[in-house]
C-alpha cells in the first residue's frame, strides 16, 4: 500500500475518527454481520432479508438503518419495496483501513524487541 493510503487513516485524524467509529459500531453486532453476509450474495429486498434472518421487520429495519448510516449499505426504492446492497466504496475503504492497520502492526513488530 502506498504511503498516501496509509496517511488516509493512520494516525487516525478527527475527520476519519468518527467514520471509523461508526463502521466498528455497525460491524459490532451479530445480526448486522448476518445482514452483511446475506448482502454479499447481492441485492436483497427487506422482505427477503426478514425471512432469511427469521426476524421481525421492525428489528431488521433498526439494524439496516445503523448499517446505512455507517455508509456500509445502499438502498434503492422500487415502488413500495426497498432493496439493500453493500456499498462497494465503503467496503473498499474498510479493506484499506484493515490493510493499513495490518501494515502498522507489522512495522511495530519489526521495530520493537518486546513484540517478537
pLDDT in tens, 30-65: 999 999 999 999 999 999 999 989 999 999 999 999
Supply 105's cell numbers.
Answer: 502492526
How confident is the model over 86-96, as pLDDT tens digits?
Answer: 999 999 988 88
CATH of segment(s) 11-105: 1.10.10.10
Long-range CB contacts for residues 45-54, cutoff 8 Å, separation at least 24:
45/81, 45/82, 45/83, 45/84, 46/81, 46/82, 46/83, 46/84, 47/81, 49/84
In this prediction, residues 75-82 reach a mean pLDDT of 95
Which residue(s) pair with 6 in the sheet? none
- Three-state helix/strand/coil letters over 38-86: HHCCCCEEHHHHHHHHCCCHHHHHHHHHHHHHCCCEEEEEECCEEEEEE
Q: Residues 21-25: what's their mean pLDDT?
A: 93
Half-sphere exposure of 62 (CA within 13 A, CB side): 7
What is the residue-averaged pLDDT of the chain?
85
**What does the pLDDT read at residue 110?**
63
**With bands split at pLDDT 50, 70 and 90, how would you rate the model's confidence at 98?**
confident
**Predicted confidence band of residue 8 (pLDDT cuts 50, 70, 90):** low
Distance CA 98, CA 76 (A): 28
Helices (H) and strands (E) in the chain, counts: 6, 3
- Residue 18: pLDDT band by 50, 70, 90 thresholds? confident
Q: Are 111 and 14 in contact (CB under 8 A)?
A: no
User: Model's pTM, two decimal places?
Assistant: 0.77
Amino acid at each position: 500500500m502506498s504511503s498516501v493510503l496509509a496517511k488516509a487513516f493512520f494516525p487516525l485524524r478527527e475527520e476519519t475518527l468518527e467514520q471509523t467509529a461508526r463502521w466498528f459500531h455497525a460491524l459490532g453486532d451479530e445480526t448486522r454481520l448476518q445482514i452483511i453476509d446475506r448482502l454479499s450474495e447481492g441485492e436483497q429486498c427487506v422482505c427477503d432479508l426478514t425471512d432469511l434472518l427469521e426476524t421481525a421487520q421492525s428489528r431488521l429495519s433498526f439494524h439496516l438503518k445503523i448499517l446505512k448510516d455507517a455508509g456500509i449499505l445502499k438502498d434503492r426504492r422500487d415502488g413500495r419495496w426497498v432493496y439493500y446492497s453493500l456499498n462497494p466504496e465503503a467496503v473498499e475503504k474498510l479493506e484499506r483501513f484493515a490493510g493499513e492497520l495490518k501494515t502498522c502492526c507489522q512495522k511495530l513488530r519489526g521495530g520493537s524487541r518486546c513484540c517478537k
